[in-house]
Structure formats: structure tokens, C-alpha cells
Amino acid sequence: MAGHPCSIPRRVGIVPKFSSAEATETAHYVAQFLLTKGVEVLTDEAAIGSDAELVVVLGGDGTLIHAAALLGGRPVPILGVNMGSLGFMTETPQSEMYPMLEAVLAGTATVSPRMKLRVHLHQGGSPERALDTEVLNDVVISKSPFSRMAELDIRCSRQYVTTFKADGVIVATPTGSTAYALAAMGPILFPTMRGVVLAPICPHTLTQRPLVVPDDETLDILLMNDAEVFLTLDGKKGPALRRGDRVQVKQSYNRVLLVHNARLDFFAILRAKLRWGER
């Protein structure tokens, strides 16, 4: 997979997994390394969001999603260094961290653009937006453990699709197809392809299956009953939904730029993470 050239950064932000002492310690060494290269190091999240020209993530995919949110849509490359097991997005192991940084600083690294989704919440049929945000992985509408089954009217660019009677529904990007959507029996999409996964969670009717729709379509999901339902955005719990609330999901113009590890391809990550070929 050919990547896009990664520009040489002058200001680099470092975002470690805050609950990891190892990540925090490693952040100190990365900062010292960058300073010896004449690069300005940013650790304040506000400064990273506004001024960083590269972000180094030390953690897992969750930390990378947090770092992407800090950038607010700015097209800044993110180098994901995994501090544990290999991640789908944090694809550079710790042992290759410094060579990857050298490649970025030398201008020989490439980036993989990843699609984001824009999410609008309209409450009670109102045209006003109660929520306007973006996600990298997925939008999840799900009922609470003791609630009745949700009834969700699904429309694709105003065309009626079906009404899911289910525990909820997941709308995922290709990048997010290997997250919660995979557990809901959704398909794995190559991360740079164009498409959006629509996957019901535990549907009442087994003939209701996951769909892949073009990324230029707009999905509208309307809650039809009084189930206790919540919106979750990239794993973070959002507002509760009520009957008549509508969640609109469409492609964002923004992209997340992930520094590509040339030593590892997407299929190698799948084999490692999903243990393909093992018995």
C-alpha cells in the first residue's frame, strides 16, 4: 500500500498513556532524543492540539484516538508506538520507535490517511444540533443492560433501509471495522478503502445482517420506542437518547494521518492480532 509523504516536523507533541508508568518514562527519553535533533517538544495538550506538527503516541489504540481528538481535525501525522501488544493503529513496536522517528525527521516516512465520521444528534425531531462531533472508530447506539430492546429506524440518504429491533447498532469507519463492529460480526474493511459499516448488535431477527454502504451516503438512525438507549463515541459514553431522537452520521472532510510502519502491513497485523493460522 503506497503512502503519502510525511512532512518534516519542527514541533513534536508527545502523548503517553497516562495510566502507564512505562509510557510516562519512555516519553521522557523520547523528548530528550528529539531535543538533541533540534526539535521543539510539546507536552501540554492544548499546545499539542494547536501547534504540533507531529504527535508521538506512547500507548495503545485508545491513546491514539485521544491524541487524534486533541488535533481537532488538523492534518497532523501521528506516530503510534505500542507499549503492549501490537495495535491496529499503534503499529510501531517500542523496539522500532527510534528508527521510525529518524525516518520521520529525515523526511522518508509515509502516512496512511484514515477516514473519520461526523456525528450530529437531533433531539425530539428538532432541526437544531444537540451534538456535533467526529469519531475515528465508531458511533454506537446501545441499550442499557436491563432496558427493553431498541427499535431503530435506519435510513441511508433518506432511503428507508430497515428497522433494527436489537440491542443497538454500530456505525464504523474502515479503521473501526476491527473494533466493536468486529465483535458484532461485522466485516473487516481494509483501513484505507471507502465505505462505512452498519452493524446491528444482537438483532432480534438473525436475517438482519451487517451492511457496508458507500462513504458518501448519509445515515440517519431514529429511536422509535422508549428503550433506555445511550450514544457512545469512540468508546466514550455520550448522552442518553429518547424516543424521537435522531443520530445522523456522515463522512467527515477531515482525515487522521497515521505514520506507516513499512516493516508491517495490515494483513500482518490481522494475523498477529486475530491469531490467524493458529489452532
Name the residues annotated as catalytic. 61
Question: In this structure, what DSSP letter does residue 209 have?
Answer: -
What is the rounded distance in angstroms from the CA atom of residue 105 to the CA atom of residue 161? Answer: 48
Task: Render 83-96 in DSSP notation, one character per residue.
Answer: SSS--SS--EEGGG
Evaluate whether 1 touches 265 at the Cβ level (below 8 Å): yes
* Burial annotation 112-135 (CB, 10 A radius, 16+ → b, else e): bebbbbbbbbbeeeeeeeeeebbb
Q: Rounded distance, CA 197 to CA 156, Å?
A: 12
Q: Residues 6 or more apart from 245 whose CB is under 8 A from it?
A: 121, 122, 123, 124, 222, 223
Q: Estimate to the nearest angstrom the gap between the alpha carbon of 169 and the chain centroid.
A: 16
User: For 236-254, b where at least 16 C-beta lie within 10 A, e where not — what string?
Assistant: eebeebeeebbbbbbbbeb
- d(CA 222, CA 217) in angstroms, rounded, equals 16
**273 conformational bin, left if phi > 0, alpha if psi -120 to 50, beta if neither:** alpha
Compute the distance between CA of residue 250 and CA of residue 34 in angstroms, rounded to an integer: 38
